[in-house]
């Protein structure tokens, strides 16, 4: 398993398809701050809550200079359904091979209802304008996380 990322680390580069199959790279956002968040599965209660919270706060985050990218192991078709069904404005990216999840140490052992399972670890990273990790939050809660993030960033 990949070591957890720390502030100051270079953010692992990636290029993944969005909900429409268009390739999106972290490098596309160079010069801006980027919130990269990893979530287990589209169209589930917690992930819907989190994606809706990001969508509701997108203008606030964008106004403070942050782009938001949500990454899950879902395929683009499922992300398109998720986006359309929930009217999401966040850019959702597909990582079915889990290569980016693993690069960010956002895939591995986690507790689920008391059992240890392999899966996506709900995590959020703030990448600065130079591509370095500014904040790394692992095992975040779906509910209330966006509000806490906004407070932590001083927005």
Q: Which residues contact 62 (CB under 8 A, 6 or more apart)?
A: none
pLDDT tens track, the chain, 155 positions: 568 999 999 999 999 999 999 999 999 999 999 999 999 999 999 899 999 999 999 999 999 999 999 999 999 999 999 999 999 999 999 999 999 999 999 999 887 778 888 999 999 999 999 999 999 999 999 999 999 999 999 99
Nearest to 70 by CA among 8, 3, 142: 142
Under 8 Å between Cβ of 92 and 107: no
Q: How confident is the model at residue 2, as a pLDDT?
A: 67
Domains and CATH numbers, the chain: 15-152 (3.40.30.10)
pTM for this entry: 0.95
Which residues are catalytically annotated? 47
Is 127 within 8 Å of 133 (Cβ atoms)? Answer: yes
Q: Mutual orientation of helices 45-56 and 76-86 as an angle, nearest 10°?
A: 60
């Amino acid at each position: 398993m990949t070591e957890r990322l720390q502030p100051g680390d270079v953010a692992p580069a990636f290029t993944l398809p969005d909900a429409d199959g268009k390739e999106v790279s972290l490098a596309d956002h160079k010069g801006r701050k980027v919130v990269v968040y990893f979530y287990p599965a589209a169209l589930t209660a917690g992930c819907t809550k989190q994606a809706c919270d990001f969508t509701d706060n997108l203008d606030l985050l964008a106004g403070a200079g942050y782009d938001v990218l949500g990454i899950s192991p879902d395929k683009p078709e499922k992300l398109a359904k998720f986006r359309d069904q929930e009217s999401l404005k966040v850019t959702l990216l597909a990582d079915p091979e889990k290569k980016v999840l693993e690069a960010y140490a956002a895939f591995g052992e986690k507790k689920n209802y008391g059992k240890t399972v392999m899966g996506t670890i709900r995590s959020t990273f703030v990448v600065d304008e130079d591509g370095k990790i500014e904040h790394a939050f692992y095992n975040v809660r779906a509910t209330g996380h966006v509000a806490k993030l906004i407070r932590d960033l001083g927005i």
